[in-house]
Structure 1
Amino acid sequence: MTRATLDKKPHEVATMFDDVAANYDLTNDVLSLWQDRRWRKEVAKAVNARPAQKVLDLAAGTATSSLPFAATGAYVVPCDFSFGMLREGKRRHSHLPLTAGDATKLPFKDDTFDTVTISFGLRNVVDTDAALREMYRVTKPGGQVVICEFSQPTWAPFRTVYTEYLMRALPPVARAVSSNPEAYVYLAESIRSWPDQPGLAARLQEAGWSKVAWRNLSGGIVALHRGFKR
């Protein structure tokens, strides 16, 4: 079994996700107590995709996250760097243009997309700042970025309980439902080490994004950040 380290070497992370591709969506449902479906609905509302718009869905995995955008009539490109995830996604959703790509070196021209979005994937990128700059580059002027990522609960007592869940309860549950439970130990550690809401907002601004704001979901377990390209 493969487990990435917090150094986030790209080949380690990609291989880890290759290993969990088959049961990835089910495992996420169980570990989040089915809250991930609600979070993705909030992402869809924030993206507000419309017919003829172009949406880039980064870290799309099996492309489950791309389906709500495609349903609006928008042209959505699911992009991921795990070939295992892409193969599983193509098997399930052959009509979507799944694309292999590294978030730090996106294979798209400047000013291509109306919206770039990434859910639960930015913290796994080896260079967060480079990825934010690349997202800015491929977004059209006036376009937006929407980032849904695990964050820091805002109520201190709940934050303590949540941290205990991540490191104690999550691995045993993952062993029951995942094809690679060790991967979820890494994922728990990566959540704990991720910047809080203002920290990520500052990095978005440093990458060039304007009007940066965020909204907490589930008490801050997840935060939805948004920014616009001038």
Structure 2
Amino acid sequence: MGKLAKRIAKSREGIDRDQLYEVAEAVKLIKSRATAKFDETVEIAMNLGVDPRHADQMVRGVVSLPNGTGRSVRVAVFAKGDKADEAKAAGADIVGAEDLVEIVQKGEINFDRCIATPDMMPLVGRLGKVLGPRGMMPNPKVGTVTADVTAAVNASKGGAVEFRVEKAGIVHAGVGKVSFDESALVENVKAFADAVIKAKPTGAKGNFVKKVAISSTMGPGLKIDPATLASA
């Protein structure tokens, strides 16, 4: 058995793959089994009772995690004039207009999150085929098309996580690092789940949250009892 296989086998010791764990217990188990040589990301996956092929069952939104994500986020802002200056002052990593559109059209995407002022959307709309598949297209529903670029940049840098349901009805995201305190991770997990639950679409019928699991980047997944996701 190779080193990787041995490490994986060891990380799964004492874990019941079929048990529904309380959030705090699952976080504790994940932290204790994260043995990679880097600060692993704690990830959540929620299986929802929706069919996103129907417009009235689409689930999307944004949530500011109370303890941040633990990762450095590069932010690009499409803006001109005073708004461009405002974006730079707020800490945006890349700011531009037509020049930035040309760069992105060439496939040069050196950022993690994209913001645009409303007047820039006719230009940014040309980038739908490039940014759309990456889930990076600015959208007013999640606060990335806005005149308040300072607030948008600060939110992106400070732990805002955008989510969107995939074809199979799954929403997933990183909600922190294994180096975080257990309480901080629990708060982030609950905040994310709460935001998804509040984003329940009108077309969703029956049980909305079917399954929930959390894991670290290299660790095993643990099933979460949805009843323990409610914030205190």
> With structure 2 as the length reference, what TM-score do the two structures score?
0.28
**Higher RCO (C-alpha 8 Å, min separation 6):** 2
> With structure 1 as the length reference, what TM-score do the two structures score?
0.28
**More helix, by proportion:** 1
